[in-house]
Structure formats: structure tokens, C-alpha cells
């Protein structure tokens, strides 16, 4: 079913991945179909051009395959006005951001794409991309650099209001994006005009996004070809569940997303913390334990009895006490729904996908919960096990072989962690170095010797006795 024939562009999106195409793009297509408006999406991919090229060859069309154990549905959003990628197309993206008709600049670049320094808790000013973007106004390479240079063009021309909308799993993603934008601006020479423009005419609403969207596999192409009778070279598989909670703070208007099921709330933080810890934090544990257990998929991991016990314990004893559920939701109902989502064997989300980029995901997911429990003198055992299992997957010590699913996990810090593991084979020394030298985790976590000791003990047990033994130890200590 084709939802929408592309209207004029109103949104410029950075990060043309599967999640964007199954989430913001779908909500926008549904809203425009119902209420109209010039909210077509111009999408730019910072890295790979594969999806952009595939969409361009198909008149910007692609399909979303919604997969559940009991049903399958296919829709074609048809909301994109352009899909481009690569460094040589960034000037075109800046020009699109600068147009007065652009009302929203959105982004899904994953936690890693924000280039946050854990030591300063702000923009990593030493990152090569940031250094490049500060010196090269016309060819930025980072998401923050592209946004700022696009805003700079707007400030110098019409200075029309615009909204920057983060759709990534960051705590206070709107507030955080605003912070990073201003840190970049303040590092620029002669930035008073731009700073005043952003302060007065640019908004950064917070949002919480939630939908499991795996990578596209050959079987998904076959599903579309069978269901639609046409070939789609870039379909998006997705679970049936979807949620989007947004702060209604848009400087230049927005699509009627509420017609498509978006929840507008002044308390996005409550939804965000719930999802970041209960879903995302537990998802990390599932992926690392599952990967080390030889499980290719999240459902395969979830159905291992000892892993299910670990998941229930981390949910109820280590994450749930650290947050207040949104008034409209019940904790038991939400957790039961999580288990149903993790049980979707037809969707078959891979442990290697969920476990990738742990060095940028874990700090967002575990730091505050660990500090919360530390105030009561408690070391959260399963959170410590999560970190240990991540290290065993990404940078195994002493010739340990984590298995093909763990080996398939990607991480921006993998090369540095592997090098560190090669010169610090002792698990205690390795964990100390990870927390004190790598600048992955905050200084507050590094200052908790009991937590670091628990991580190193679990890591050593994984290496010598296996992941199941380590999980059973965590159960005994919890």
C-alpha cells in the first residue's frame, strides 16, 4: 500500500538508516496522508550511499515489512523527496537546510554519531570530524557540524525559525543536541550572529523513539517480492510495536503526527528513562550474553532459561528501582510486552546488531543506574556482568574465542580495546585501564572500586568458565 506521493520538502533528515525509514518517515507519511502539508523528507546519509542509491533508483520509494508471529504487512511510505549520501553531496544537504521552506532538521545517527566525550560530557572537540568541521565550513563531516553549518547559512540569509529534532537514544536528546550545537558554535570565530539566531529562533524538542528494526536480509527482499509482486532492493523489516513520544516545541510548525499515534508530552524524560533502561539497557545484556552463548538472534538468547532469569533480575532489581514509570503505563504490563517483543522469532533480530557500538551505548544506559545503587552501597551485579560480557565480546583476553556472533559485533572503540587487551592480559588491569584510560565511561564510574572489581571478576569468570557460570554467579550475588 502506497501511503503518500511525496509532497514538497519540509524536513531535512541526517542519517538514512533503517530506523529512520521505519519510524519518522512512516509517521510523517501517515500524518500527511491524513492531514496534508508540505512535509516531504530530504534525507542525507553521512556514510554509506547504498540505501540512498537504492532509493534513488526506485523514485525514492521503498517498503516497510512489519513482521510478527501472527501477521505480516507491507506499506510504502512514499514521503522522501530525495535520498543522497557521501561527502561529495554534503553541500547539497547544507543548501537544503538553508532553504526557508525547511521547517525541521531531524537526525538518527546513533549515539556514536554525536561524538560525545565521556570525560567532558560534552562535544569531543579533539575528534577528527569536529576539528575538520571547524576549519571547513563548506564540507562538514559530522552530524553536529552539518547542522551548525546549515544553521549558519540560515542565519546569514533569511533567519527563519527552524526545529532540530533528535530521534536517537540519548538521555534528553533534544537538550543534549542543543548543548553540542552551542559548544561547536562557541568554538567558531565570529559566531555572535549565529549564536543569537539559534538562541532565539531554533528549538530542540526532546523525544523518545521505540521500534525494533533489524538489518535487511535476503529473506526480506523475498517477502516483498512475494507480497507486492515487485522487486525492492532496500526494504525495511520492523516489528509491529512502535512508539514515539515528543515534546511539542516546534519553532516553524510540524506534521500532524498525533494523527499517526505520536504522543506529545511535557514529560518525555519519564518515557525516555523507562525505554533507555528497561528496553535498551536490558537489550545490551541480552545481546552480550546471547552472543557469548552462541545465539544468533535475540529470541534465541531470550529463550535460554539462565539468560531469561538474568533479564528478569536486571529489569526488576537493577533498572526499575532507578526510574518512575510514566503515569499512563504499568511496569508489569510494559515488561511483559518487552518479553513478547524479544520473543519475535519471525523477525529474528540479531545479537550482533544489538550488541554493536557498546562503547557509545552502554555509558548512556548504565551510568546513572550504577551511581543510583552505589549511593546505597549496592553493586548491581547484572549491570557489571553486562559490561564484562561486552568486553569479552569486543576485546577478548588471552586468546579467548567469543564465537562468531560476538565477533560480528562492531564498535568504534574496538581497535583501541583490542590493543589494550594485548598489553594488559590480566582482567583486573584491563578493566582498570578501560575505565581510567579509554574515556569510554565517566570518572564517576571509574571511582567505584567495587563496581570495577565486579566487572573484572565476571570478565575473568567468562574467560575461564564461560558465560553461563558467570551469569549463575551474578544470580547468587543478587
pLDDT digits (tens, 9 = 90+) for 257-305: 999 999 999 999 999 999 999 999 999 999 999 999 999 999 999 999 9
Could you tell me if residue 4 is inside a domain? no
CA distance 177 to 196: 17
Whether residues 160 and 285 share a domain: the answer is no
Q: Where among 245, 264, 283 does a domain terminate?
A: 264
CA distance 389 to 362: 12
How much is the pLDDT for 419?
95
On the question of pLDDT at 323 being above 80, the answer is yes
The CATH number linked to 128 is: 3.40.50.720
Whether residues 237 and 372 share a domain: the answer is no
- Candidates 266, 347, 295; CA nearest to 22 is 347
Whether residues 167 and 55 share a domain: the answer is yes
Whether residues 369 and 421 share a domain: the answer is yes
Say whether pTM exceeds 0.75.
yes
CA distance 379 to 449: 10
pLDDT tier for residue 3 given thresholds of 50, 70 and 90: low
Q: How far is CA 266 from each of CA 211, 247, 271, 335, rounded to the nearest angstrom? A: 21, 6, 10, 23
Could you tell me if residue 236 is inside a domain? yes
Could you tell me if residue 274 is inside a domain? yes
Pick 424 or 251 by higher pLDDT.
Answer: 251
* % of the chain beyond a pLDDT of 70: 99
CA distance 359 to 363: 7
The CATH number linked to 448 is: 1.10.1040.10
* % of the chain beyond a pLDDT of 90: 92
Beta strands in 379-426 (DSSP E): none
Helix (H, G, I), strand (E, B) or coil at 312: helix
Could you tell me if residue 101 is inside a domain? yes
Whether residues 324 and 240 share a domain: the answer is no
CA distance 349 to 291: 12
Which residues are 162's β-sheet partners?
202
Angle, CA 431 vertex, CA 128 and CA 442 arms, to 5°:
55
Whether residues 93 and 137 share a domain: the answer is yes
Whether residues 91 and 219 share a domain: the answer is yes
Whether residues 310 and 184 share a domain: the answer is no
Cell of 325: 514509570
pLDDT tier for residue 417 given thresholds of 50, 70 and 90: very high
How much is the pLDDT for 6?
65
Whether residues 109 and 191 share a domain: the answer is yes
Whether residues 118 and 188 share a domain: the answer is yes
Q: Where among 244, 264, 284 does a domain terminate?
A: 264
What is the Cα Rg of the chain in Å?
22
pLDDT digits (tens, 9 = 90+) for 329-384: 999 999 999 999 999 999 999 999 999 999 999 999 999 999 999 999 999 999 99
- Residue 265 sits at φ, ψ, to 5 deg, of -145, 150
Q: In the block, which residue shows the cell 546513533?
A: 110
- Residues 217-237 have a mean pLDDT of 91
Tell me 314's DSSP state. I
Residue numbers of the domain that contains 295:
268-477
On the question of pLDDT at 1 being above 70, the answer is no
- Residues 148-170 have a mean pLDDT of 97
pLDDT tier for residue 5 given thresholds of 50, 70 and 90: low
Q: Where among 264, 281, 315 does a domain terminate?
A: 264
Summary mean pLDDT of the chain: 95
pLDDT tier for residue 393 given thresholds of 50, 70 and 90: very high
CA distance 70 to 426: 49
Could you tell me if residue 3 is inside a domain? no
Classify strands 72-75 and 116-117 as parallel, antiparallel or unpaired. unpaired
Could you tell me if residue 1 is inside a domain? no
Helix (H, G, I), strand (E, B) or coil at 246: strand
- Residues 179-206 have a mean pLDDT of 96
CA distance 472 to 478: 10
> What one-character-per-residue DSSP string does 163-226 give?
EEEE-SS-TTHHHHHHHHHHHHHHTSSS-HHHHHHHHHHEE---EEEE-------HHHHHHHHH
pLDDT tier for residue 235 given thresholds of 50, 70 and 90: very high
Give how many domains the chain has, as a whole number.
Answer: 2
> What one-character-per-residue DSSP string does 249-282 give?
--TT----GGGGTPEE-S-HHHHHHHIIIIIIIH
- Candidates 468, 464, 454; CA nearest to 310 is 468
* Number of alpha carbons in the 13 Å side-chain half-sphere of residue 81: 16
On the question of pLDDT at 2 being above 80, the answer is no
Could you tell me if residue 2 is inside a domain? no
Whether residues 173 and 96 share a domain: the answer is yes
Whether residues 359 and 274 share a domain: the answer is yes
**How many of the other CB atoms lie within 10 Å of CB of 8?**
10
pLDDT tier for residue 21 given thresholds of 50, 70 and 90: very high
Could you tell me if residue 325 is inside a domain? yes
pLDDT tier for residue 7 given thresholds of 50, 70 and 90: confident
Question: What length is written for the chain?
Answer: 478
Amino acid at each position: 500500500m502506497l501511503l503518500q506521493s511525496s509532497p514538497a520538502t519540509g524536513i531535512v533528515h541526517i542519517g538514512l538508516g533503517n530506523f529512520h525509514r521505519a519510524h519518522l518517515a512512516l509517521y510523517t507519511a501517515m500524518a500527511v496522508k491524513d492531514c496534508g502539508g508540505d512535509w516531504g523528507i530530504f534525507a542525507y546519509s553521512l556514510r554509506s550511499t547504498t540505501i540512498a542509491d537504492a532509493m534513488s533508483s526506485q523514485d525514492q520509494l521503498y517498503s516497510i515489512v512489519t513482521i510478527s508471529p501472527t501477521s505480516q504487512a507491507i506499506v510504502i511510505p512514499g514521503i522522501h523527496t530525495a535520498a543522497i549520501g557521501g561527502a561529495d553531496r554534503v553541500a547539497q544537504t547544507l543548501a537544503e537546510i538553508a532553504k526557508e521552506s525547511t521547517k525541521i532538521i531531524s537526525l538518527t545517527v546513533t549515539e556514536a554519531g554525536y561524538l560525545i566525550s565521556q570525560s567532558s560530557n560534552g562535544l569531543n572537540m579533539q575528534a577528527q570530524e569536529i576539528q575538520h568541521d571547524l576549519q571547513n565550513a563548506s564540507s562538514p563531516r559530522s552530524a553536529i557540524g552539518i547542522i551548525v553549518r546549515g544553521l549558519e547559512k540560515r542565519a546569514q540569509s533569511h533567519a527563519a525559525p527552524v526545529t532540530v529534532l533528535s530521534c536517537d537514544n540519548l538521555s534528553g536528546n533534544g537538550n543534549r543536541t542543543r548543548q553540542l550545537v552551542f559548544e561547536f558554535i562557541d568554538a567558531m570565530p565570529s559566531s555572535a550572529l549565529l549564536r543569537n539566531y539559534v538562541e532565539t529562533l531554533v528549538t530542540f524538542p526532546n523525544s523518545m523513539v521505540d521500534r525494533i528494526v533489524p538489518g535487511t536480509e535476503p529473506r526480506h527482499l523475498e517477502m516483498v517480492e512475494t507480497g507486492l509482486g515487485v522487486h525492492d532492493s532496500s526494504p525495511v523489516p520492523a516489528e509491529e510495536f512502535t512508539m514515539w513520544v515528543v515534546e511539542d516545541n516546534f519553532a516553524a510548525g510540524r506534521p500532524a503526527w498525533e494523527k499517526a499515534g505520536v504522543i506529545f508530552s511535557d514529560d518525555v524524560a519519564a518515557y525516555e528513562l523507562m525505554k533507555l533502561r528497561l528496553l535498551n539497557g536490558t537489550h545490551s545484556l541480552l545481546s552480550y550474553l546471547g552472543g557469548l552463548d552462541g545465539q544468533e538472534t535475540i529470541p534465541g538468547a531470550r529463550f535460554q532459561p539462565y539468560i531469561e532469569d538474568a533479564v528478569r533480575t536486571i529489569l526488576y532489581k537493577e533498572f526499575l528501582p532507578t526510574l518512575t514509570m510514566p503515569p499512563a503505563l504499568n511496569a508489569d504490563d510494559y515488561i511483559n510486552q518487552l518479553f513478547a517483543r524479544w520473543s519475535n522469532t519471525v523477525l529474528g533480530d540479531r545479537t550482533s546488531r544489538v550488541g554493536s557500538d557498546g562503547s557509545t551505548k552502554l555509558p548512556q544506559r548504565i551510568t546513572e543506574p550504577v551511581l543510583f545503587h552505589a549511593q546505597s552501597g549496592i553493586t548491581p551485579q547484572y549491570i557489571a556482568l553486562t559490561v564484562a560480557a561486552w568486553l569479552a565480546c569486543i576485546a577478548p583476553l588471552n586468546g579467548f574465542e567469543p564465537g562468531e556472533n560476538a565477533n560480528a559485533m562492531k564498535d568504534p572503540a574496538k581497535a583501541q580495546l583490542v590493543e589494550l587487551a594485548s598489553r594488559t592480559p590480566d582482567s583486573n588491569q584491563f578493566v582498570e585501564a578501560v575505565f581510567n584510560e579509554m574515556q569510554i565511561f565517566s570518572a564517576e564510574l571509574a571511582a567505584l572500586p567495587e563496581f570495577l572489581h565486579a566487572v573484572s571478576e565476571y570478565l575473568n569468570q567468562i574467560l575461564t568458565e564461560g558465560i553461563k557460570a558467570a551469569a549463575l554467579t551474578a544470580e547468587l550475588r543478587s
